[in-house]
Amino acid sequence: AQSVTQLGSHVSVSEGALVLLRCNYSSSVPPYLFWYVQYPNQGLQLLLKYTTGATLVKGINGFEAEFKKSETSFHLTKPSAHMSDAAEYFCAVSDTGTALIFGKGTTLSVSS
Amino acid sequence: DTGVSQNPRHKITKRGQNVTFRCDPISEHNRLYWYRQTLGQGPEFLTYFQNEAQLEKSRLLSDRFSAERPKGSFSTLEIQRTEQGDSAMYLCASSTEAEAFFGQGTRLTVV
């Protein structure tokens, strides 16, 4: 069975600081990995995804993530946080397009 | 087509009543998913359609829940005899092979 663990339910950074949101997964087959962002009372918006190929994936809004098979990790980073990045972030795993299994989410707070 | 559309956005109902939600997916997507999200949690998978066929159902989907996707187009999720524990955000997504697009959800409050 697949599962996702997001380390840290809350992360706080200062504007301009590095953002690092951690995600570890468990999958018995080569996984598809995703990061979604959710703003209050909104649906989820895809930030980036890894399916095959290059393990460093670039997404929207300056975010990127690196698939590390040996560490079963898919951490999300952004070099410089912006106030508009404050939201909830979800890591998810699936196999070949079936249902997504989500982590519990990490709330990112950005202070000025 | 601007994306996945869900109606209503909000629904307040009395315990014991039946409710039905609708999801209109992106037109060329043949896969459709329903998820439930409670406060402080990630979305939890409920059920999945490929075209009109319901291919997978979570154990979370009790016999009070039913979903349909007639003709492989829009989908409905019905909850019968609602309970307070059904209060949640119900999210619909449609997808291509490897990317799911989510609607804004229907927030259900059972009082």
B43 with B91: CB under 8 angstroms? Answer: yes
pLDDT at B34: 96
DSSP-assigned beta bridge partners for residue A35:
A48, A91
CA distance B92 to chain A (A): 9
Residue B40 touches chain A, beta carbons under 8 Å: yes
Of all residues in chain B, what percent carry a pLDDT higher than 70?
Answer: 97
pLDDT at B60: 80
B36 with B90: CB under 8 angstroms? Answer: yes
* Confidence at A14, pLDDT banded by 50, 70, 90: very high
Within 8 A of B4 by CB-CB distance, chain A residues are: 43
SS3 of residue A84 by DSSP: helix
pLDDT at B99: 80
B11 with B19: CB under 8 angstroms? Answer: yes
Whether A23 has a pLDDT exceeding 90, the answer reads yes
Q: Which residue of A has its CA nearest to B91?
A: A43
pLDDT at B61: 83
* Confidence at B1, pLDDT banded by 50, 70, 90: low
pLDDT at A70: 93
The pLDDT tens digits of the residues spanning A40-91 come to: 878 899 999 998 889 999 999 999 999 999 999 999 999 999 999 999 999 9
Residue A17 touches chain B, beta carbons under 8 Å: no
Within 8 A of B42 by CB-CB distance, chain A residues are: 4, 90, 92, 102-105
Within 8 A of A32 by CB-CB distance, chain B residues are: 98
B42 is written with which tokens?
């990630």
pLDDT at A96: 61
Q: How far apart are CA B52 and CA B75, in angstroms?
A: 9
B111 is written with which tokens?
């009082």
Average pLDDT, integer, range B96-107: 86
Residue B7 touches chain A, beta carbons under 8 Å: no
Mean pLDDT, chain B, rounded, equals: 92
DSSP E strands, B3-105: 5-7, 10-13, 19-24, 31-37, 44-50, 53-57, 65-68, 75-79, 88-95, 100-102
B2 with B44: CB under 8 angstroms? Answer: no
Q: How far apart are the first and last CA of chain A?
A: 41
A2 Cβ contact partners less than 8 Å away, ≥ 6 residues apart: A25, A26, A27, A28, A31, A93, A94, A95, A101
Q: How far apart are CA A72 and CA A84, in angstroms?
A: 29
**For chain A, how many residues are written?**
112
pLDDT at A48: 95
Within 8 A of A49 by CB-CB distance, chain B residues are: 98-99
The pLDDT tens digits of the residues spanning B43-86 come to: 999 999 999 999 888 878 889 999 999 988 999 999 999 999 99
